[in-house]
Amino acid sequence: MNKILKIYEILYKKFGPQNWWPTTREGKDAPEYSRKVKLNEKEKWEIAVGAILTQNTAWGNVEKAITNLNRAGFFKDVFNFNLSELEKLIRPSGFFRQKSRYLKSFIDHIASTHRGSISRLLNQSASPLRKELLSLKGIGPETADSILLYAASKPSFVVDAYTVRIANRIGLTDSKKYSIWKTMFESVLPKNAEVYGEYHALLVKLGKNICRKNNPLCFECALIKICFEGRVRYGYVKGAKRRRGDEVASRSDRKKFKRKND
């Protein structure tokens, strides 16, 4: 079986569905994970805004920003907020000056080009929509694909830092090009938004908790059998030299991990 399919099978079995992208329920302020079949206009806005806010930023900080936006009634009337109001509200998500500009230009674009409806933007077919998103300041390939996949429900695979790190360690490819990574996954997986969405979310889950940048918890990783670096760290690969920092995680790390994950 192809490794890319195998990874999905293993992670899905281990972690179950992740129900991305988190959105805020009626009457609440903070986003939660729960899969919706059909998104309303507010939820589409929230996903697109979240995709911009989470650029190189911990999701917890984005949650704080989205909570602020909800309390201010932002998603009910996105056209009624100016730059400095946005800056204040999204401050916790970091890079708030650039991100507020990115948001404003996104909002203005929808106002002027799509008669104020984000659905009119998102209802296009995937390829022109992707091009249009990429033409906006502050929307690069990952953010565009996140919006395509999670807000527009189109099968467009999202490649992020976790995807690259995990696939690098497993030994899939060492390419530096986003398009190569994206094609690698899309050419193997069924062209299905739900599968793409779960796959990406599962990689994030693994990357956050186990396949961490420093001191990855390979001893707990469900992918150890198919991961080159993991096997090297564990000493499974004969003759492979362990490098500094390749030690198996400490006891305290194991305990910490167990506490966090049930």
* By the rule CB under 7 A, 58 interacts with DNA: yes
Task: List Cα–Cα distances, 111 to 77, 78, 105, 149, 187, in angstroms.
Answer: 12, 10, 10, 22, 36
Record the tokens describing residue 109, joined without a space.
């674009």
**27 φψ region: left (φ > 0), alpha (ψ -120 to 50), beta (else):** left
Question: According to DSSP H, which parts of the chain are helical?
Answer: 3-15, 41-53, 59-71, 83-90, 96-113, 118-122, 126-134, 141-146, 161-170, 178-186, 193-209, 228-234, 251-260
61 part of the interface to DNA, by CB under 7 A: yes
Token pair of 42 as six digits: 């507010």
Residue closer to DNA by CB (options 20, 74) is: 20
Min separation Cβ 84 and DNA, Å: 13
CB of 207 to DNA, least distance (A): 7
Q: Which of 22, 49, 172, 206 binds DNA (CB under 7 A)?
A: 22
One of 25, 97, 225, 242 touching DNA (CB under 7 A) = 97
Site for DNA contains 160 (CB under 7 A): yes
> Per rule CB under 7 A, is residue 55 in the interface with DNA?
yes
The least CB distance from residue 255 to DNA, in Å, is 13
Binder among 26, 37, 38, 60 for DNA (CB under 7 A): 60
Between 61 and 183, whose beta carbon lies closer to DNA? 61
Q: Are residues 16 and 208 in contact, defined by beta-carbon separation less than 8 angstroms?
A: no
Return the residue matching tokens 């970091």.
94
* CB neighbours of residue 121 within 10 Å: 21
- By CB under 7 A, the residues from 184 to 223 that bind DNA are 204, 207-208, 212-214
Binding site for DNA (CB under 7 A): 20-22, 50-51, 54-61, 64, 91-92, 94-99, 136-144, 146, 150, 160-162, 176-177, 204, 207-208, 212-214
